[in-house]
Chains A and B, each alone.
Chain A
């Protein structure tokens, strides 16, 4: 996007927020109209239409709040060389935590892209990528909310559980990013503030993410710069497949296993392979 630095980015974010506010207001007017009609005739279709408008209004309002929070952080930037705030940071904030991770998952259940609000969320996400089990995977596969606290985390995921607990995670909640007839992936939050991570908050935030941030006419699936496609990991898997004379999928598994065994982040292991500093054999 040609925006001319943080102030340009902030202006765009304020604009997106204003558009979302307008959409929310429009949906609210329509909902009120239909609710009035429904009161006159409760058996009619109006109640159903009204509920649809209400849901839409909530989703747009939630989008507006995310965009406004993001715009405020962009506006607060003083120096042009300061790192840009993460959009995932405001998503985490809206869910009552500092640590949130979004994972886009393919129909074959593979991780296709990731975005995290902080180091902790990113580390947890990497563990899930390397070990192939965890809350984001489960929430997307089962299309339902997954949550675990304390030792339940270790019991539920035999490999991921102890590893994520070792990172200091005491609670995890993951919700699917559902579309009308499918699922794009999931949103996981780690250690939410007690009581803030209510079901209603998640429903509004995830619906706003799906309907306006990831899909839709004004969508940016790159999450305004946060999305990581793990390019280096896939390049390294391609190189390994030649070195080991195996399928690229097997090469990817070998890479993950080696990274885990050596206690090296998978991105770092991939970087070494791509820069020919490391060979598996």
Chain B
């Protein structure tokens, strides 16, 4: 493998979000990885599977339709080099699909891979701080020259880099959600207190009485308390004692 250093550097820059440096979202990131993978690593095709946590569906990407198809089936069968590597967190050395070991380990995946024209596979874990979150799978056909050790090292560092970028993006999303929720809760509280004041003054109620009225209205009209409070504060909704 003789990929010029500049080409390798360019791919890392693309994975980190290009010259703008804005983190790529997971689907774009995986697409970039599989698009650049084959030429950079000197293999026929590249596939990847990622599951950042137990709650989200695993995501897949492939550099060509058959690679994507193979990834999808591997996921459905819970079988194949990607699944194994994602679980173990260890790289899988180059293995021929028609070998006895491969056939025994992947009884459905290996024949399907051969059918699609792939003869050999190697896989590298996408590793993060605590656990592997995915795998980068390199698929070779009969015409491809055997993968060099150098290509294996590069594949692992691409995988590590991608994993880091994925986790950073995931944490960004999580933090965005949490701070959004916190702000929403705080703003809601302010509006509810203000609405209580409005009702207490207009209807000569205690603050508890005003709150009961707000809550009662929200329940009977199946609306969120915050929305009702907002309408009261803005003067769009006039509540009476019989509400």
Q: How far, in whole Å, are A243 and B187 apart by their CA atoms in the complex?
A: 23
Most buried by A among B164, B195, B201: B201
Q: How far, in whole Å, are A181 and B178 apart by their CA atoms in the complex?
A: 12
- How near does chain A come to B34, taking the closest CB pair, in angstroms? 19
Contact indicator A239/B198 (Cβ below 8 Å): yes
- How near does chain A come to B231, taking the closest CB pair, in angstroms? 12
Q: Which of A42-50, A115-123, A167-175 contacts B (4 or more CB under 8 A)?
A: A42-50
- How near does chain B come to A113, taking the closest CB pair, in angstroms? 6
Nearest-neighbor residue (CB-CB) of B192 within chain A:
A234
Docked complex: A5-48 residues within 8 A CB-CB of B: 26-27, 30, 44-46, 48
List residues of chain A with CB within 8 A of the CB of B199.
Answer: 238
Nearest-neighbor residue (CB-CB) of A236 within chain B:
B197
List residues of chain B with CB within 8 A of the CB of A112.
Answer: 183, 186-187, 189-190
Contact indicator B130/A26 (Cβ below 8 Å): yes
Nearest-neighbor residue (CB-CB) of B172 within chain A:
A180
List residues of chain B with CB within 8 A of the CB of A104.
Answer: 182, 186
Contact indicator B164/A45 (Cβ below 8 Å): yes
- How near does chain A come to B238, taking the closest CB pair, in angstroms? 11
Contact indicator B129/A229 (Cβ below 8 Å): no
List residues of chain A with CB within 8 A of the CB of B201.
Answer: 238-240, 242-243
- How near does chain B come to A14, taking the closest CB pair, in angstroms? 24
Q: How far, in whole Å, are A182 and B175 apart by their CA atoms in the complex?
A: 9
Assuming the A-B contacts A231-B193, A235-B194, are A181 and B176 also in contact, with contact meaning beta carbons closer than 8 angstroms in the complex? yes
Docked complex: B151-199 residues within 8 A CB-CB of A: 157, 160-161, 164, 171-172, 175-176, 178-179, 182-183, 185-187, 189-190, 193-199
Q: How large is the interface on A (under 10, 10 to 19, 20 to 34, 35 or more residues)?
A: 35 or more
- How near does chain A come to B12, taking the closest CB pair, in angstroms? 8
Nearest-neighbor residue (CB-CB) of B204 within chain A:
A276
Q: Which of A142-150, A151-159, A189-197, A213-221 contacts B (4 or more CB under 8 A)?
A: A213-221
Encoded as 1 (CB less than 8 Å from any B CB) or 0, chain A from 46 to 66 comes to 101100110010000000000
Nearest-neighbor residue (CB-CB) of B185 within chain A:
A221
Q: Quick check: is A106 within 8 A (CB to CB) of the other chain?
A: yes
Assuming the A-B contacts A234-B197, A238-B233, are A184 and B190 also in contact, with contact meaning beta carbons closer than 8 angstroms in the complex? no
Contact among A27, A106, A240 with B187 in the assembled complex (CB-CB below 8 Å) = A106
Q: How far, in whole Å, are A117 and B233 apart by their CA atoms in the complex?
A: 33
- How near does chain A come to B6, taking the closest CB pair, in angstroms? 14
Most buried by B among A184, A214, A234, A243: A234
Assuming the A-B contacts A44-B157, A179-B175, are A238 and B183 also in contact, with contact meaning beta carbons closer than 8 angstroms in the complex? no
List residues of chain A with CB within 8 A of the CB of B164.
Answer: 45, 48-49, 52
Q: Quick check: is A107 within 8 A (CB to CB) of the other chain?
A: yes
Contact indicator A180/B176 (Cβ below 8 Å): yes
- How near does chain A come to B111, taking the closest CB pair, in angstroms? 36
Q: Quick check: is B92 within 8 A (CB to CB) of the other chain?
A: no
Contact indicator A239/B172 (Cβ below 8 Å): no
- How near does chain B come to A208, taking the closest CB pair, in angstroms? 15
Residue ranges of B at the interface with A (Cβ–Cβ < 8 Å): 129-130, 157, 160-161, 164, 171-172, 175-176, 178-179, 182-183, 185-187, 189-190, 193-202, 207, 233
Q: Which 8 pairs across A and B sit closest by C-beta, in order of nearness?
A: A238-B197, A234-B193, A112-B186, A239-B201, A235-B197, A238-B194, A242-B201, A238-B198
Residue ranges of A at the interface with B (Cβ–Cβ < 8 Å): 26-27, 30, 44-46, 48-49, 52-53, 56, 104, 106-107, 112-113, 179-182, 184, 214-216, 219, 221, 229, 231, 234-243, 248, 274
Give 8 pairs: A residue, B residue, CB < 8 Å, sorted on A.
A179-B176, A180-B175, A181-B175, A235-B207, A238-B200, A241-B194, A241-B233, A248-B194
Task: Apart from A27-B129, A182-B176, list 13 A-B contacts with CB within 8 A.
Answer: A104-B182, A106-B187, A181-B176, A184-B182, A215-B178, A221-B182, A229-B190, A236-B197, A237-B194, A238-B194, A239-B198, A248-B198, A274-B197
